[in-house]
Structure 1
Amino acid sequence: KSRDAAADFGVHPVQIREIKNDRVSARNAFMGIAVVHGDLIETIPSITEPEGVEYRITTLMQKMNGKIDSLLRLDRPVTVTLYASSNLPISGMQNIAEKVRAVVQKTNARNYGKLEFRHVDPLADRALLDLADTYGLPRLKWPAFTGMDGRPVVPGDGMLGIVLEHDGRFETVQMLARTVFGQYAVGGLEDLESRINGALDNLISINPRVGYITGHGERDIHNQRDGAATFRELVADMYDLKTIDLLKEDIPADIRTIVINGPRSGYTDGELFKIDQFIMKGRSALFFVDSFAEIQPDGQNMFMREPVVLPVMTGIEKLLEHYGVTVNRDIVLDEKCYQASMRGMGEQSLYFAPMIGSEGLNEKNVVTKYLKKIVFLKSSSLSIAAEGRPGTRPEALVSSSDRGWLMKGRISFMPWSMAPPNASQMGKHVLAAALAGDFASYFAERDAPAQKGGAATGPVATDTIVRRTLKPARIIVVGTSEITTPSVIDKEGKTPNSVLVHNMIDFLSGNYDVPEMRSKGLELNPLRDSSDGTKLALKIFNIALLPLLVMGAGLVVWKRRSTRRKRIMAEFATEVRGE
């Protein structure tokens, strides 16, 4: 009975190993959590380690609260449509509509009755097959053949899948799978409820939205190779990224934080004005700014040629300089850097990938307070205005070690072309900075640029520029966008760099308590690095002094025993002579 209840909640057994009396045995165990709130049921299917459980439960509860609000705000149900061609000659099609209907009804009861089921047979209306391309559902075709039961199958085509639709948006749930023999069959019915729930979550946007500015070559949130797809998946547990093209639209009113990630082309004054006025309303912005773009060669001998590094000018730099942070035209190199194993060359120092220890992380700001080691990649240095700006509080979040230096002029990321300079040319450099407080508008002393649609006409006019923040705002500036790529972050949020990036969004969104909980699930959480002198002293102590101390302790014990033996012998020897 308990097993059936666990399966009903979506908690399935995991295999564990038990070592007892020099024997290893495997057994199945239920190690999940089901959280029930109102009609909603959310689960953590398996808990295999204690790290990060507090954070997972907290974000799950936050997700449930957001989902309840989103469901109750719906003015009409979400349509769940099963597109299933009745002529599909694949295994599992028997009573498929009834099976899916039962799952949707069960899911509907747990989502405040906001789902409405429909079954559509494309065989009855051939035009519906064209929707396969629209929704991204597979369209199957087959020639005449003889089925497994010996019956002839006429040639045809069809489709199978589930589509959730609401307010012009849709999410799809795939239902096709491959057998061990490579044939198509109906699959995924055992976890169909959880997949429908996941599609519903994406459809109704249960998490707060974060604006992601596009249109200038920013890192693509759908690019898994070197874009920001991993970044999007990383923050998806708490935030939904909303892409915004400032040339075509304004920043929506419900957006409280925007992200500008590695733009490559220039912003118009009208776009900069929208960003500036967004901040003037007391909202937050996260800037990942690259001073240089690395262009990979193509054509013949592309792997033998060095990439071209070109400067990037976007206009964001002058906006940030006005707020109090300058992104310099250089690349920070550091002796304390990542060591890569290169074939035929052994260990190679990647000076452009500084390893930042606790001494380079701000211990007072929640973004970096609970981190001990991170890595930066191809970052420019930042200069914080010495006197700050009136009403603002600037602080360095991440800095290189005191063994860092700057590469200027011709930029090359070939590691064998780099060498540390003299100690006099080394020093500490800021890689990421945070600003908070009251800011003056970049356009306070400038005319507002013309916006799409032109200026309003008539005798009544308005001052369209907010010249100072209406309430305190927050800004974070990072000298590279490389730390949002899959090379340094993971979507599960286990690595320190993933935690750092997520913490930045939390800080700007006002979730100050979450970073501490998230840091408990770090896979890499090293002890504080010791200096070379301390390491040498400990080595000498362990190799030489510790044995000497043991020998000294042995001599002391031997001396005390010898003295005691002599005292006893002297005492009893006198008594023997007296007798």
Structure 2
Amino acid sequence: MREKTIHRASTGFFMLTVAGILILVNFVAAELFARFDLTESKMYSISEASKNLMKNLPDKVHAKAYFTANLPAPYNSHTSFVKDIFEEYAAYSNGGFGFEFIDPGDNEETRNQLMVLGIPPVQIQEIQNDQFQVKQAWLGIVFYYADKKEVIPVVKTTSGFEYEVTSTIKKLTAERLKTVGFLQGHEEPNPREAMQRASEIIEKNYKIALVDLKEQKASALDEVDTLVIVNPKTKIEEEDLYYIDQFLMKGKTIAFFADAIDVDVRSFRAVNVDNGLAELLTHYGVTINQDLIGDVQNKRINIASQQGMFRISNIINYPLIPVVTDFDKDSPLTQTVDALSFPFLSSLKVTSNTEAVTYTVLARTTPRSWQQVGMFVVNPMENLAPKPDAQTGPFPVAAAAQGRFTSFFANKLDQTAGDKPWLNPSSALTQSPETRILVVGDGSFGLDEYFDPPNVIFLADAVDWLMQDNAMIGIRGRGMENKPIGELEPWEKSVIKYMNMIGIPILFVIFGFARWSMRRARKRGFQLASK
């Protein structure tokens, strides 16, 4: 009897102890937030940039997520994913961020409200009773801050969701949006027409302005914080170069994405480009060479050819769209970049560091790349292999320069002739404060015509870097990693080929022989035991 009492008391004490531990764990979990994310890109947890944004919210932000319930895969996991991420945002906000989920259902009033907010319904296919059916659903989010609101119309995918949320909240709570100016007037692409994907991402955090120096002169740059020069094809006149130079001398930042060779992809003709930037960039310490770089690590393109009455499509490797995978991992701009593709790329000549300016090569081609100069062969149906005397890589193709620059016009200020009234020695700046420029030997990589998601992300990250807002760099492409397999040597390809053709069958033969030997030995053992 006494033993039963002791046993019951021990069991009761054990259960109370377990209950107490569970209560303590729940209390600690409620006070302290923790999550273990084992994915390489940490896509199920928010970054330090998002955490810092939450910790420093000036006022309360509230999110209303309008998600239709009971959706088919893969949309059925969106609600739980978004809820988990929002809980993490709330945990780091100290009460500054709140959220709620609303199922529009069949409520006509809610549906009309969503249309006014800019959240459209999406058509989702599902299988019910062995039949395909189309279901109308909503997957949008509205963020409210003071008297302002921002909308994510549709959460199409969970990839890049953190960036969508953080950039939306950052834009919503910003006192002033900075302006990115795109130079126009020299046959540059209009970013809202030829670079729609990149513009859409950039406008999540900044205003975009079209800068025409011919019409507005220096005043066109008054409200601009960063100037982006993309692929000018006609010559930028000296007066415009002066305004660009003085923009840099004020401590503003500039990106130069320029072609040295213009390739017409319809006729496959290549000509040198005289855009007027050569002397300016060389003065700043980076020269875009008049060459084209080919690489064995490249993009595949679809080429159509006529064969008799039929039009045949061929997918071939095109060396003149190199895939670059060698990046400077110490730079915040390229430390998370895996691969970029550059159509009709030119190499750079980068000056050594000076006391005033530090130069960094951000990207290089592979050692098996080569250089075309003089006569350019660009037709993918011709032999694009390197000539015996061609210079081989790696070649620098993207570079950054940071420091105090000297004006390109510093030694020209005595040229105050009447034909240059804009060159005013009394108001011209000859030395910049600490600032930065970015140079890439390709002006086409961000165009929709050559759309490649990592390229668009890099262009948007470049704007952040120029704005000296490194917080957003790295989270924009989370969950969108591009890790191409490195180019293999011919002998390596042969080894893999024959291992697949011969090696695997041989392994099966060896395995079968081993199994036969084991069964034979086991049978012999039984026979000896029976004797």
TM-score range, shorter chain: 0.5 to 0.7
Write out per-residue CA displacement over residues 443-499 of structure 1, whole angstroms, 9 at most, x where no aligned residue. Answer: 44442665757859xxxxx674332x322x22111223222432113xxxx722222
Report the equivalent of 2:385. Answer: 420
Report the equivalent of 1:478. Answer: 440
Q: Does 1:332 align with 2:293?
A: yes
Q: Which of 276, 291, 300 pairs up with 2:260?
A: 291
Is the 2:339–2:484 Cα contact (8 Å) retained in structure 1? no
Q: Does 1:505 align with 2:463?
A: yes
Deviation at 1:307, TM superposition (A): 7.2
Is the 2:182–2:208 Cα contact (8 Å) retained in structure 1? yes
Deviation at 1:519, TM superposition (A): 1.4
* Aligned AA (1:501): L
Change (3 A) 1:357 1:483: closer
Q: 2:334 & 2:127 partners in 1: Cα distance?
A: 39
Counterparts in 2 of 1:453-532, with a 5 A limit? 455=424, 464-467=428-431, 469-471=432-434, 473-489=435-451, 495-520=453-478, 522=480, 525-529=482-486, 531-532=488-489
Q: Does 1:394 align with 2:364?
A: no
Change (3 A) 1:502 1:40: same
Is the 1:353–1:375 Cα contact (8 Å) retained in structure 2? no
Q: Does 1:38 align with 2:146?
A: yes
Q: 1:527 & 1:309 partners in 2: Cα distance?
A: 29
Deviation at 1:5, TM superposition (A): 4.0
Q: 1:233 & 1:49 partners in 2: Cα distance?
A: 17
Q: 2:317 & 2:506 partners in 1: Cα distance?
A: 42
Write out per-residue CA displacement over residues 512-535 of structure 1, whole angstroms, 9 at most, x where no aligned residue. Answer: 23232221364x834433524444
Write out per-residue CA displacement over residues 432-451 of structure 1, whole angstroms, 9 at most, x where no aligned residue. Answer: 22222333333444426657
Change (3 A) 1:40 1:250: closer
* Aligned AA (2:523): R
Deviation at 1:289, TM superposition (A): 2.1
Report the equivalent of 2:404. Answer: 438
Change (3 A) 1:551 1:61: same
Q: Does 1:208 align with 2:178?
A: yes
Give the gaps of 5 or more residues in structure 2.
1-101, 308-312
Is the 1:368–1:397 Cα contact (8 Å) retained in structure 2? yes
Deviation at 1:569, TM superposition (A): 3.2
Q: 1:373 & 1:350 partners in 2: Cα distance?
A: 16
> SS of the residue aligned with 1:342?
strand
TM-score of the superposed pair, with normalisation by structure 1 = 0.62
Write out per-residue CA displacement over residues 298-340 of structure 1, whole angstroms, 9 at most, x where no aligned residue. Answer: xxxxx8xx57654333432112112221111222233443333
Larger Rg: 1
> SS of the residue aligned with 1:514?
coil
* Aligned AA (1:545): G
Deviation at 1:58, TM superposition (A): 1.6
Report the equivalent of 2:137. Answer: 29
TM-score of the superposed pair, with normalisation by structure 2 = 0.67
Q: Which of 180, 189, 193 pairs up with 1:219?
A: 189
Report the equivalent of 1:110. Answer: none
Report the equivalent of 2:273. Answer: 312
Give the gaps of 5 or more residues in structure 1.
71-206, 297-302, 457-461, 574-579
Deviation at 1:356, TM superposition (A): 0.7
Report the equivalent of 1:372. Answer: 338
Report the equivalent of 1:245. Answer: 212
Change (3 A) 1:424 1:370: farther
Change (3 A) 1:554 1:22: farther
Q: 2:295 & 2:364 partners in 1: Cα distance?
A: 11
Report the equivalent of 2:303. Answer: 341
* Aligned AA (2:430): V
Change (3 A) 1:554 1:52: same
Write out per-residue CA displacement over residues 233-291 of structure 1, whole angstroms, 9 at most, x where no aligned residue. Answer: 45333322222333522454543211122223444444333322322333211112232
* Aligned AA (2:486): D
Q: Does 1:51 align with 2:154?
A: no
Deviation at 1:21, TM superposition (A): 8.3
Moved more, 556-565 or 19-28: 19-28
Q: Which of 489, 502, 523 pairs up with 1:565?
A: 523
Counterparts in 2 of 1:87-126, with a 5 A limit? none
Aligned residues: 410
